[in-house]
Amino acid sequence: MSEKNGRNNRGKGTPSKYEQVLVSGVRGRRNGKHHDLIAGILQDLDTLPLDAAIKIPLAGTDGVTLANLRSALHRAIKPDGTIVETSSDSENFYVWKKAATRQPTSRA
């Protein structure tokens, strides 16, 4: 990254459209509006027995829609490979850990 000529270091000599800065100088990432809600669900999931579900009142989600809540939850658990199932009714959103299924063994 060269600040003098505004060119990138890829050797192509193409000027950068935007200013480049070091990542260390960038202010911290923003937490989305679902952050606290999802963090609480993840914390509860860590200690949840396999035969239990978390019951989240939809009235307590600060206007986050069910679709957005489900989507945010699945984005949050994807990196660590946790598998959950969800369900809902008119008043609550339910989340539980899916039991690991055994992979069938192939017989030769």
Point out which residues pair with 55 in neighbouring strands.
Answer: 94
Q: How far is CA 100 from the centre of its chain?
A: 21
pTM for the whole structure? 0.65
Q: Which range has highest mean pLDDT (25-29, 41-45, 96-100, 102-106)?
A: 41-45
pLDDT greater at residue 96 or residue 29 = 96
Element (H, E) at 37: helix 35-46
Mean pLDDT for the chain?
Answer: 83
Tell me which architecture the domain covering 35-97 has in CATH: 2-Layer Sandwich (3.30)
